[in-house]
Amino acid sequence: MDPGDRQLGEALGDALAALRRRERTAAELHGWLRGRGVAEEAVEEVLAELVEIGELDDERFAFAYAADKRELAGWGAHRIAAALRERGIGAALAERAAEESREDELRRAVGLVRRRGENLEDERGCARSLALLTRRGYEHELAYEAVRRARGEASGAA
């Protein structure tokens, strides 16, 4: 067996094992393989093979990652898109995956503020809620609207 073929086979096996442990983007897997001393040409061949057999799919990754961060971590669209770009996803795909309707994002933000339990009758409580939402990647305008809505619901329930 040719040593190049052996390295390619080992690299493919290692890459598959890495993907089974944790889903990765093509850019992350590229860096992971290069960090293990796999030649650039072999890395490109491995990535092409993985894409062809459906094991490596940046679009699938981006939409699954966005859904997880949206639902499990309460992140807003801006933070999701930025995190995807940091992981090597192109800007257009990152924006598309992070996108959701304004009303859905607003509803999630209001829910997050409610669960946080801040006293929204107090300006400090409102400021803390607004800061929380902006840290989570919600646009400032949407975060402000969410705090106003949650405040209105809280005062209406009292």
Q: Which two tokens stand for residue 76?
A: 């807003």
The pLDDT, as a whole number, for residue 156 is 66
- The whole-number pLDDT of residue 1 equals 41
Residues 6+ apart with CB under 8 A from 134: 140, 143
pLDDT at 158 > cutoff 70: no
* Cα distance between residue 105 and residue 80, in whole Å: 12
Instruction: Say if residues 96 and 36 touch (Cβ distance below 8 Å).
Output: no
The 3-state DSSP class for residue 118 equals coil
Residue 23, CB half-sphere, CA atoms under 13 Å: how many?
A: 14
Produce one character per residue of 32-54: b if its CB has 16 or more CB atoms within 10 Å, e if not: bbeeeebeeebbebbbebbeeee
134 pLDDT higher than 90: yes
Tens digits of residue pLDDT in 44-61: 999 999 999 999 999 999
Domains and CATH numbers, the chain: 3-56 (1.10.10.10), 59-98 (no CATH), 102-157 (no CATH)
The model's confidence at residue 118, banded by pLDDT at 50, 70 and 90, is confident
